[in-house]
């Protein structure tokens, strides 16, 4: 198939050998070389296409990036195009690295600028994640060892990628295409390219950001990148080498968990909780975890400043020692460096009311609720089932469908008699650890600060991918949990 790049074309698909578009009559071979096969991507500044070089005997595939400036007046466009060509010559030097796509050519056509780049045959890490599932620690370790030297190389050339994410990292599955000594390549770019190897990582899609920065169209204050992977300073328009390292850290925890990055960020405590999302049976050693934690620091001064720093830490580690914490609670305390919660013993005197002895006559309901099942589940310490039964009872007391969402107005309309009965049951059979009254006293003790309350009772304050990990249905759970 041949694809028409005219944005106004009503039907861009054309037969393989067509010279002009059958719908809009636009030429289908650009610069006498490049036949577009299909669109493979689109971003803020243009589109990306898969193409073939019709002038080469083997019709070598390549990637063609179309950069649009539809809002520029003619004079501004000519200035931008001139600066663009100047920046291209500098960017072409990066293609000498075997793990960066070589820049083959650039040209102007119909008020658009075009880059022609090496086609990398392989799978992105996003595709690998979708096909194979979450990455293991050893795979993350290898990714860091391969990708950090690439970042070191581009940072030494005063280039910041700005968009490190799984979609922009490809693992070669076929040998690199030999584009050397093609007559239309840029300058001396054709003679010294070292061909990449099967299985190695390739970093793609950073050229446009660099080029547009050089033209003056991107200045401090302009945000480029994918929000979920961006460093805080980058969201405010200021990108640094350390910003790429932050995005690399986010990429790693996404690959380890297969969970969207923002779902792993605790906005109340302003920290990442990625360990809580590790799949069952998976663990990360303390040394690797410490590296990821430092990559993910919100403050630039607390983060690794250069790729070299991270590489030095990697090299200093002789082996991967796995020593996973015994449970999620201790993991959060050790690795997230949160303030230690008071022990159960220290809270007993403050928050635990006198345990009451209940009989049937005290299981009062204003709306005819039967509490026998909840009493039994609590008596045998089936905390998870008792929690679910409590939800069912609350919905029934409100006349709502079972397991319905409860709003603030619903809570205000619950009968006091039933709330008191539920509270009495939980307090009695938990030995005074759990119940509405206990939670109320803890909430008041922290001056009704919800974030501090959540830390006190062990509740997570961020989106949870695995709902059953949010609560600890055990006797050792924090008071009020």
pLDDT bracket for residue 327 (50, 70, 90): very low
Which of 137-141, 154-158, 319-323, 464-468 bottoms out in mean pLDDT, i.e. has the lowest?
319-323
Q: Tens of pLDDT along 130-152?
A: 999 999 999 999 999 999 999 99
pLDDT for residue 35 is more than 80 = yes
Do 344-469 and 122-179+194-335 fall under one CATH topology?
A: no
Averaged pLDDT score across all residues of the chain: 80
Residue 86 is predicted with a pLDDT of 67
Active site positions, annotated: 163
Q: Are 365 and 376 in contact (CB under 8 A)?
A: no
CATH class held by domain 2-118: alpha beta
Residue 470 is predicted with a pLDDT of 63
Residue 111 is predicted with a pLDDT of 77
pLDDT for residue 213 is more than 80 = no
Max Cα distance, the chain (Å): 95
DSSP string, 95-163: GGSTTS--EEEEEEETTEEEEEEEPP-EEEHHHHHHHH-SPPHHHHHHHHHHHHHHHHHHHHTT-----
Q: Where are the domains of the chain?
A: 2-118, 122-179+194-335, 344-469
Residue 334 is predicted with a pLDDT of 36
Residue 318 is predicted with a pLDDT of 44
* Annotation: CATH topology of 122-179+194-335: Transferase(Phosphotransferase); domain 1 (1.10.510)
| Most confident listed range (208-222, 236-250, 370-384, 457-471) | 236-250
The total of other beta-carbon atoms located within 10 Å of residue 24's CB is 13
Angle between helices 307-316 and 137-156 (to 10 degrees): 140
Interacting residues of 418 by C-beta distance below 8 A, sequence separation 6+: 364, 365, 366, 367, 369, 393, 397
pLDDT for residue 183 is more than 70 = no
Which of 93-107, 344-358, 385-399, 433-447 bottoms out in mean pLDDT, i.e. has the lowest?
344-358
The total of other beta-carbon atoms located within 10 Å of residue 317's CB is 14
Q: Tens of pLDDT along 39-67?
A: 988 765 678 899 999 888 888 899 998 88
pLDDT for residue 178 is more than 50 = yes
pLDDT for residue 229 is more than 90 = yes
Which of 6-10, 221-225, 351-355, 471-475 bottoms out in mean pLDDT, i.e. has the lowest?
351-355
CATH architecture of 344-469: Alpha Horseshoe (1.25)
pLDDT for residue 394 is more than 90 = yes
pLDDT for residue 398 is more than 80 = yes
DSSP string, 375-393: HHHHHTT-HHHHHHHHHHH
Which of 102-111, 360-369, 408-417, 424-433 bottoms out in mean pLDDT, i.e. has the lowest?
360-369
Whose structure tokens read 């581009």? 154
Indicate the DSSP class of residue 237: T
Residue 460 is predicted with a pLDDT of 73
Instruction: Give 184 or 108, the one with higher predicted confidence.
Output: 108
pLDDT for residue 325 is more than 50 = no
pLDDT for residue 294 is more than 70 = yes
Angle between helices 307-316 and 241-257 (to 10 degrees): 50
Residue 208 is predicted with a pLDDT of 55
pLDDT for residue 117 is more than 70 = yes
pLDDT bracket for residue 321 (50, 70, 90): very low
pLDDT bracket for residue 337 (50, 70, 90): very low
pLDDT for residue 113 is more than 70 = yes
């Amino acid at each position: 198939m041949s694809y028409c790049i005219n944005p106004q074309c009503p039907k861009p698909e054309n037969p393989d050998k067509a010279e002009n578009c059958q719908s809009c009559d636009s030429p289908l071979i650009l610069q006498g070389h490049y036949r577009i096969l299909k669109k493979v991507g689109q971003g803020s500044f243009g589109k990306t296409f898969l193409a073939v070089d019709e002038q080469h005997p083997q019709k070598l595939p390549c990637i063609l990036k179309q950069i649009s400036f539809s809002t520029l007046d003619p004079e501004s466009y000519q200035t931008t195009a001139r600066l663009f060509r100047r920046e291209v010559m500098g960017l072409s030097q990066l293609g000498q690295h075997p793990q960066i796509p070589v820049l083959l050519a650039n040209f102007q056509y119909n008020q658009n600028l075009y880059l022609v780049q090496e086609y990398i045959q392989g799978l992105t890490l996003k595709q690998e994640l979708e096909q194979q599932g979450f990455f293991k620690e050893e795979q993350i370790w290898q990714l860091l060892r391969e990708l950090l030297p690439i970042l070191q190389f581009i940072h030494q050339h005063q280039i910041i990628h700005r968009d490190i994410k799984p979609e922009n990292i490809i693992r070669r599955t076929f040998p690199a295409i030999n584009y050397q000594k093609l007559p239309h390549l840029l300058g001396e770019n054709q003679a010294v390219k070292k061909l990449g190897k099967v299985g190695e990582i390739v970093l793609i899609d950073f050229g446009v950001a660099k080029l547009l920065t050089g033209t003056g169209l991107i200045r401090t204050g302009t945000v480029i990148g994918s929000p979920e992977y961006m460093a805080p300073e980058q969201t405010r328009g200021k990108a640094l080498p350390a910003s790429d390292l932050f995005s690399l850290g986010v990429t790693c925890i996404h690959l380890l968990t297969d969970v969207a990055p923002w779902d792993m960020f605790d906005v109340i405590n302003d920290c990442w909780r990625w360990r809580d999302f590790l799949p069952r049976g998976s663990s990360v050693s303390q040394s690797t975890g410490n590296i990821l934690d430092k990559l993910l620091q919100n403050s630039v001064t607390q983060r690794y400043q250069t790729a070299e720093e991270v590489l030095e830490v990697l090299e200093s580690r002789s082996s991967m020692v796995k020593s996973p914490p015994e449970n999620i609670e201790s993991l959060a305390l050790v690795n997230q460096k949160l303030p230690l919660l008071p022990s159960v013993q220290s809270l007993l005197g403050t928050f635990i009311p006198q345990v009451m002895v209940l009989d049937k006559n005290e299981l009062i309901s204003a709306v005819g609720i039967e509490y026998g099942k909840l009493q039994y589940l609590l008596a045998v310490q089936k905390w998870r089932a008792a929690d679910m039964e409590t939800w069912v009872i609350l919905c029934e007391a409100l006349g709502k469908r079972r397991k319905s969402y409860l709003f603030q107005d619903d809570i205000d309309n619950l009968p006091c008699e039933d709330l008191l009965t539920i509270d009495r049951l939980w307090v009695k059979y938990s030995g005074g650890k759990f119940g509405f009254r206990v939670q109320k006293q803890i909430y008041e003790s922290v001056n009704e600060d919800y974030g501090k309350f959540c830390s006190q009772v062990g509740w997570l304050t961020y989106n949870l991918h695995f709902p059953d990990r949010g609560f600890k249905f055990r006797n050792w759970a924090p008071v009020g949990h």
